[in-house]
Structure 1
């Protein structure tokens, strides 16, 4: 689905994502804060779906041979190092963003299964674009392409009728 074809609310969400990621790529804290504020007031479920789909696609694009723990740590390290000088980075939220994007709902620990912590919408809006910006540095495709695929995936999932 092309970004220009999106309904107004979805277009506002896409614009906020683009602005936040571009500000993160440029280490522009004031622009990032403004874009994150716009992103944080969007419908939380939609923000999570879109950012989760974009992160998942980027991980698949950057690591086409599969994703192991070392690759996840590498991606998280890139995000933290890329933003630590100018943004408040929360590694626990970044881990939850990756877990959510990959559909990991429980993590096995010696004490038993543990659920990744729930991320508040403002935390998602403030941290996920940092990870997206870091992954885009290694991606073969631009953000626009990943966003269009994400919205297309969401649109198909919402329009498919169950038998």
Structure 2
């Protein structure tokens, strides 16, 4: 299936989430907090984006740490991401960065809005945190995050269209 075919098979919402995620990552790389915040705010309105970002985070963590992830690795990603984002967007909450990392590892459920609110965070904070961790991991792995977002959206589409036994 070509790149264009996969996009045309996706829902308008999936295309919007993929496109806006791309905008947010480019804004994060450019340290453009205004554009980043606007994209994160828009993505936070769409529950689907949490699932897409969780899948992207898991795959990027597997790419960066192919031999498995240690507690020190998680701590390093948390620290490096929080320090880097603090230089250009101090509004990104380090607690939200920790929550999305643990969510990607299956320790917490960031796709569940109740888990997010019980942690004292709002959806926009966890969306922004996921986006900065994705940006950090993609840069560290020297990979194009577009392929990761496309695979995540495809995985969700496939899971939604599979018939249950």
Question: What is the TM-score when the length of structure 1 is the normalising length?
Answer: 0.84
Q: Structure 1: which 5+ runs fail to align?
A: 107-115
Q: Secondary structure of 2:119's partner?
A: coil
Counterpart position of 1:16? 20
Q: Is the 8 A contact 2:18 2:150 kept in 1?
A: no
Give the alignment of 1:122-161 within 5 angstroms: 122-161=124-163
Task: Give the aligned CA root-mean-square deviation in angstroms.
Answer: 2.0
Cα deviation for residue 97 of structure 1 reads 0.5
Distance change (3 Å), C-alpha of 1:65 and 1:52: same
SS of 2:56's equivalent in the other structure is: helix
Q: Deviations over 1:65-96 (max 9, x none)?
A: 10111111111122112110121231111111
Aligned to 2:94: 91
State the distance in 1 between where 2:31 and 2:145 align.
17
* Moved >6 Å (runs of 4+): none
CA gap of 1:118–1:100, structure 2 versus 1, over 3 A, is farther
More helix by share: 2
Distance 1:41 1:105, change over 3 A: closer
- Cα distance between partner residues in 1 of 2:37 and 2:93: 15
